[in-house]
């Protein structure tokens, strides 16, 4: 029992000075987005430090780095979502007409584009949202076609395999 109390007291002794010097948390998500483009993380960090009027702590720098890496640029995300919608539609049609295995990536491309639209509405242009939905439906129909084709092949092989 003495060891536990001593450990707690020593821990408090060494962490108390750190707690008094702890930096106040910043909230990047609630600040106004800046119009300027930052070419590197360092320039973004310096601009943030200038904005709040102090240097960022280690954990704040780590959080800011993750924030900058995990939030993609809106224009890049918009182009990517629109191209995914078109690709999903094309693969859905090809999966239904040409080669049924193409329905699998068509499903994932269409679903990804619709998920991006759901997360940030307006990212897909008018026609591309319809293409993504159509690609998803065509891919599901392609899945069913692939499933029926596999069942047919298994039946044919099982019927003719016993004719030795």
Structure tokens at 131: 């293409």
Task: Look at residue 138 in the predicted model and tell me its pLDDT.
Answer: 92
Give the model confidence (pLDDT) of 23-44 as tens digits: 555 554 444 444 455 567 777 7
Identify the DSSP state of 54.
S
- Other C-beta atoms closer than 10 Å to the C-beta of 125 total 13
Structure tokens at 1: 């029992």
Which residue did the predictor score with more confidence, 32 or 164? 164
pTM listed for this prediction: 0.52
In the chain, what are the domain boundaries?
A: 40-71, 74-160
CA–CA separation, 65 and 83 (whole Å): 28
Supply the Cα-derived Rg of the chain in whole angstroms: 28
pLDDT band at 55 (very low <50, low <70, confident <90, very high): confident
Please, where are the H alpha helices in 53-125? Answer: 58-70, 74-97, 103-119
- Confidence check: pLDDT of 64 > 70: yes
Identify the DSSP state of 152.
H
- Confidence check: pLDDT of 49 > 70: yes
CA 39 to chain centre: 22
CA–CA separation, 83 and 76 (whole Å): 11
Range of weakest confidence among 56-60, 106-110, 155-159: 56-60
Give the model confidence (pLDDT) of 87-126 as tens digits: 899 999 988 888 888 889 999 999 888 888 887 777 777 7
């Amino acid at each position: 029992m003495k060891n536990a109390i001593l450990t707690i007291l020593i821990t408090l002794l060494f962490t108390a000075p750190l707690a008094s010097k702890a930096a106040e948390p910043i909230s990047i998500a609630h600040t106004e987005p800046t119009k300027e483009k930052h070419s590197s993380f360092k320039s973004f960090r310096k601009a943030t430090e200038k904005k709040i009027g102090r240097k960022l702590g280690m954990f704040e720098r780590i959080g800011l780095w993750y924030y900058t890496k995990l939030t993609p640029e809106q224009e890049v995300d918009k182009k990517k979502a629109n191209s995914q919608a078109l690709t999903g539609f094309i693969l859905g049609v090809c999966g239904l007409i040409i080669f049924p295995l193409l329905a699998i990536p068509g499903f994932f491309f269409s679903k990804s584009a619709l998920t991006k639209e759901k997360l940030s509405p307006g990212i897909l242009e008018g026609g591309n949202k319809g293409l993504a939905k159509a690609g998803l439906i065509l891919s599901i129909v392609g899945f069913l076609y692939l499933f029926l084709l596999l069942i047919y092949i298994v039946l044919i092989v099982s019927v003719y395999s016993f004719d030795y």
